[in-house]
Amino acid sequence: MRILVCIKQVPDSEGFITINESNGWIDFEGSYRMNRFDEFALEEALRIGEKMPVDSIDALSVGLPRAESTIRKALEMGASRGIHIITEESSDMSAFETASLIASFAREERYDLILAGVMAEDDMQSQVGPMIAEMLGYPSASSVIYEEIDPERRTLFAEREIEAGKRECLEMKLPVLLTIQSGINRPRYPALSNVLRARNQEITTIPSQSLQKPVKRERMVALRYPEALSKGIVLEGNEGEKAGSLLQILHEKSII
Amino acid sequence: MKGTMETRQIAVIAEHRNGVLTPGTLETLSFARELESLLNLKTNIVIAGKSIEGLTYDIAGMTGMDVIGIEGENLDLYNCESYLAALEKPLEELDPAYICTPHSAMGYDLAPRLAVRLKASCITAVEKIGKKGKSVLFSRSQWNGKIILEKEPVVKRAVLTVLSGSWPEPDGRPEKTGEVTIITIAAETKNSRTIEIREAVRTGFDLAKAEVIVSAGKGLGKEENLPLIYKLSELFPKSAVGASRAACDAGWLDYGHQIGITGKTVSPKLYVACGISGSTQHIAGMKGSQMVVAINTDPAAAIFSVADYCIVEDLATFIPCVIEKYHKLFSSHKESE
Ligand SMILES: Cc1cc2nc3c(=O)[nH]c(=O)nc-3n(C[C@H](O)[C@H](O)[C@H](O)COP(=O)(O)OP(=O)(O)OC[C@H]3O[C@@H](n4cnc5c(N)ncnc54)[C@H](O)[C@@H]3O)c2cc1C
Ligand SMILES: Nc1ncnc2c1ncn2[C@@H]1O[C@H](COP(=O)(O)O)[C@@H](O)[C@H]1O
């Protein structure tokens, strides 16, 4: 059993995002980390590895040189190999381009299972996983909240989350691609032994130019801030004054 | 000849459950209507299922749009592989410029694969249509709703998914009824089979009846802060505690508390969002609230765009401050000191 987990480095939601001066992309002040949904995906791969013999759990990221720290985090959690497809431009990389790069790498590797997150927290597209599956001809299921592999029959049973907590149950033949929904497990903290091992471990790097260059199918025309749809009133003053105003408003509206 | 601007079509892939179109599909039809009027196109509805002839005629009557019904034994329940196999040929023949579907569990499962298969562009979770010169632009939110991107397909076909709540459901019945075409296919699926749909686990927890919901998000920081949320909710009669998915994922609250597209939909008199960023998936579950108060340290948080009262503060200190002031102002019985 060979498993690939796709991990994306995303800006931490606590950071500060603005549209850059040329209006062409964003500026970000803050730290970068692993996409939360990908942490669940990696944890799921590690748990599969604890249940059955697994040859390799590879963690792959497409991104700028700084994405290396996220790949290292995956090694610390317990991935066996880190792969970095290095890109040079930081601006809008389409899901189709990302998926094409990952698929052209994964095609040769013949993974039995590919896991991705249900969406990336930054671009929120929910596209890359299913696109990879289509390019490789694997069956796929997105938003998976439970999975069970039958290694003898080479089948995978999955439950995907649909509206209001209902679940769609399906069975697929390996090789399979799943996109993982949060809550499927509780991601682990790296064990010290893995942290030490990860520190010096080699990461396979692949310049994106060496892979087949995909062509963009959509382009970004403009970036803007959301209109303040809100008729919202911003409470002013210090903390105590705001607390007072809030209570007064709720009292006037007979809520309190 | 197919493919000229005048004759190109829009196709809406309909999602249905228990013999009715989903609300997301109805909203997608309104989206298609707007696109039609901008570009002078014509919408066709494509629907797949096991025995859907009746439904197909109903839809043609209800919408006045032409409907292509695709029937097949293995189309009883949605399955990505069988839907792709069923839709591919009819869509190739129709050759629509835009293929639209709701951004639902079906939509985001199917759309990216369909786009790759049909060599189309793919833009998901579209919330607005714009026009700039000859270009039609589709807006979508990124970075937790803090910035909006306008995108334009640069190939001749695009698959679009429509964010729920962004268009109204169409009203009124058209005068004429649409044309119906029924196709029967024998698409076999080799690698994937949907077995059943399991109902949600009942949690016995009733958020729907609460008049006030105080919800905790990831901004709670740690489980030890949870009593703050409960204490705040206890200031209100008929109140309950809700949560974002991220707060549930952290193990602070049980999933029965989760509000949003994959949790509960609520419409209380008052919704207090504490440390919740305001992702579209969360907002979908609480935007029907009569009044929204948001407490968040980040003035740019998207939750503020749906809040009536915006409070930029750290919840860990602000909530105790509210509780203390409440007791000073309203408590007739002073707590024993
Ligand atoms: C298919 C799908 C379905 C989903 N369904 C749902 C759903 O039903 N419901 C749902 O909620 N989510 C859902 N999500 C997840 C959703 O995308 C977000 O990840 C989630 O809502 C984020 O939760 P949050 O706002 O609590 O966390 P974050 O986005 O991490 O936001 C935390 C917020 O807390 C603020 N903060 C930090 N510290 C403090 C402090 N001390 N005081 C005050 N504020 C503070 C931060 O500024 C930030 O705005 C779904 C996702 C997918 C892909
Ligand atoms: N640059 C990337 N590198 C590795 N995996 C990615 C990348 N972008 C997206 N993915 C994977 O695809 C999932 C969905 O991303 P998206 O389609 O961008 O919402 C993520 O959760 C990742 O698993």
What is the rounded distance in angstroms from the CA atom of residue A213 to the CA atom of residue A194? 35
What is the rounded distance in angstroms from the CA atom of residue A184 to the CA atom of residue A41? 9
Ligand 1 touching residue B245 (CB < 6 A): yes
Using 50, 70 and 90 to split pLDDT, how confident is the model at A230?
A: low
Quick one: pLDDT at residue B172? 83
- Which helix (DSSP H) or strand (DSSP E) does residue A210 occupy? none
Determine the average pLDDT of the residues in B177-191: 91
B128 and B17 in a common domain: yes
Cβ-contact B139, B117 below 8 angstroms: no
B102 and B14 in a common domain: yes
Contact: A232, B305; criterion CB under 8 Å? yes
The one-letter amino acid code at B286 reads: M
Using 50, 70 and 90 to split pLDDT, how confident is the model at B7?
A: low
What is the rounded distance in angstroms from the CA atom of residue B65 to the CA atom of residue B68? 10
Ligand 1 touching residue B262 (CB < 6 A): yes
B104 and B62 in a common domain: yes
Domain membership of residue B241 as a residue range: 207-336
CA B12, B17, B21, B22 dihedral sign is negative
Q: For residue B4, is it within any domain?
A: no
CA distances in angstroms from A30 to A86, A87, A177, B218, B219, listed in the order given = 21, 21, 32, 17, 16
Ligand 2 touching residue A9 (CB < 6 A): no
CB atoms under 10 Å from CB of A17, counted, come to 18
Any residues with CB less than 8 A from the CB of B204 and at least 6 apart, and which?
Answer: B256
Nearest chain A Cα distance for residue B108, angstroms:
6
- Token digits of residue B243: 């949560």
Quick one: pLDDT at residue A220? 93
Q: For residue B164, is it within any domain?
A: yes
Determine the average pLDDT of the residues in A99-124: 97
- Token digits of residue B150: 């306008």
Under DSSP, is residue B187 helix (H, G, I), strand (E, B) or coil? coil
Check residue A153 and give left, alpha or beta (phi > 0: left; psi -120 to 50: alpha): alpha
Quick one: pLDDT at residue B1? 37
B19 and B148 in a common domain: yes
pLDDT tens, A42-64? 999 999 999 999 999 999 999 99
Determine the average pLDDT of the residues in A59-84: 97
Quick one: pLDDT at residue B336? 43
B116 and B53 in a common domain: yes
Nearest CA in chain B to A251: B330
Considering only the beta carbons, identify the residue of A11, A221, A231 that sits closest to B150.
Answer: A221
* Candidate of A5, A6, A86 to mutate for ligand 2, largest count of ligand atoms within 8 Å of Cβ: A6
Number of folded domains that form chain B: 2
User: CA B97, B101, B107 angle in degrees (round to 5)?
Assistant: 130
CB atoms under 10 Å from CB of A222, counted, come to 16
Q: For residue B324, is it within any domain?
A: yes
Check residue B15 and give left, alpha or beta (phi > 0: left; psi -120 to 50: alpha): beta
Query: What whole-number percentage of chain B has pLDDT above 90?
Result: 84
B311 Cα distance to chain centroid: 27
Query: What whole-number percentage of chain B has pLDDT above 70?
Result: 94
Indicate the average pLDDT of chain A. Answer: 95
Quick one: pLDDT at residue B203? 63
pLDDT at A1 over 90: yes
CA A50, A54, A56, A59 dihedral sign is negative
- Nearest to B59, CA basis, from B183, B177, B184, B181: B177
Nearest chain B Cα distance for residue A138, angstroms:
8
CATH number of the domain to which B130 belongs? 3.40.50.620
DSSP helix, strand, coil percent of chain B (3-state; round to 5): 30, 30, 40
Cβ-contact B44, B9 below 8 angstroms: yes
B69 and B116 in a common domain: yes
Quick one: pLDDT at residue B303? 95
Q: For residue B202, is it within any domain?
A: no
The one-letter amino acid code at A146 reads: Y
- Nearest to A95, CA basis, from B61, B50, B303, B149: B149
pLDDT at A139 over 70: yes
Quick one: pLDDT at residue A114? 98
Determine the average pLDDT of the residues in A2-25: 94
Quick one: pLDDT at residue A163? 84
Using 50, 70 and 90 to split pLDDT, how confident is the model at B2?
A: very low
B178 and B227 in a common domain: no
- Give the position, in ligand 1's atom list, of the atom nearest the Cα of B263: 8
pLDDT at B334 over 60: no
Ligand 1 touching residue A145 (CB < 6 A): no
Ligand 1 touching residue B26 (CB < 6 A): no
Q: Which of A81-85, A230-234, B235-239 has the lowest mean pLDDT?
A: A230-234
- Give the position, in ligand 1's atom list, of the atom nearest the Cα of B315: 42
Considering only the beta carbons, identify the residue of A168, A217, A240 that sits closest to B155.
Answer: A217
What is the rounded distance in angstroms from the CA atom of residue B325 to the CA atom of residue B329? 6
Any residues with CB less than 8 A from the CB of B270 and at least 6 apart, and which?
Answer: A250, A255, B211, B212, B213, B236, B289, B290, B291, B292, B293
Contact: A169, B195; criterion CB under 8 Å? yes
Contact: A242, B318; criterion CB under 8 Å? yes
Q: For residue B199, is it within any domain?
A: no
B180 and B215 in a common domain: no
Greater confidence (A82 vs B135) lies with A82
- Token digits of residue A215: 């062509």
pLDDT tens, B66-123? 999 999 999 999 999 999 999 999 999 999 999 999 999 999 999 999 999 999 999 9
Indicate the average pLDDT of chain B. Answer: 92
Contact: B150, A142; criterion CB under 8 Å? no
Check residue B19 and give left, alpha or beta (phi > 0: left; psi -120 to 50: alpha): left
Q: For residue B195, is it within any domain?
A: no
**What letter does residue A9 receive in the DSSP assignment?**
E
Considering only the beta carbons, identify the residue of A164, A217, A230 that sits closest to B121.
Answer: A217
Q: For residue B198, is it within any domain?
A: no
What is the rounded distance in angstroms from the CA atom of residue B320 to the CA atom of residue A70? 37
User: CA B32, B33, B39 angle in degrees (round to 5)?
Assistant: 85
B178 and B59 in a common domain: yes
Quick one: pLDDT at residue B269? 97
Ligand 2 touching residue A131 (CB < 6 A): no
Cβ-contact A145, A184 below 8 angstroms: yes
pLDDT at B301 over 50: yes
- Give the position, in ligand 2's atom list, of the atom nearest the Cα of A180: 21
B98 and B234 in a common domain: no
Which domains does chain A carry? 2-210 (3.40.50.620)
What is the rounded distance in angstroms from the CA atom of residue A141 to the CA atom of residue A144? 7
Residues in chain A: 256
pLDDT tens, B8-35? 699 999 999 999 999 999 999 999 999 9
What is the rounded distance in angstroms from the CA atom of residue A109 to the CA atom of residue A119? 24
Q: For residue B201, is it within any domain?
A: no
Whether A143 and chain B come into contact, CB under 8 Å, resolves to yes
What is the rounded distance in angstroms from the CA atom of residue A60 to the CA atom of residue A5? 6
Quick one: pLDDT at residue B200? 79
Determine the average pLDDT of the residues in B292-298: 97
What is the rounded distance in angstroms from the CA atom of residue B154 to the CA atom of residue A244? 54
B155 and B29 in a common domain: yes
CATH number of the domain to which B216 belongs? 3.40.50.1220
Radius of gyration in angstroms for the set of CA atoms belonging to chain A, rounded to a whole number: 21
pLDDT at B5 over 50: no
Quick one: pLDDT at residue B4? 44
Quick one: pLDDT at residue B186? 86
Radius of gyration in angstroms for the set of CA atoms belonging to chain B, rounded to a whole number: 23
B253 and B107 in a common domain: no
- Nearest to B25, CA basis, from B183, B145, B167, B198: B167
| Residue showing tokens 């907002």 | B283
Using 50, 70 and 90 to split pLDDT, how confident is the model at A229?
A: low
Using 50, 70 and 90 to split pLDDT, how confident is the model at B330?
A: confident
pLDDT tens, B204-246? 567 888 999 999 999 999 999 999 999 999 999 999 999 999 9
pLDDT at B187 over 80: no
pLDDT at A222 over 80: yes
Cβ-contact A61, A7 below 8 angstroms: yes
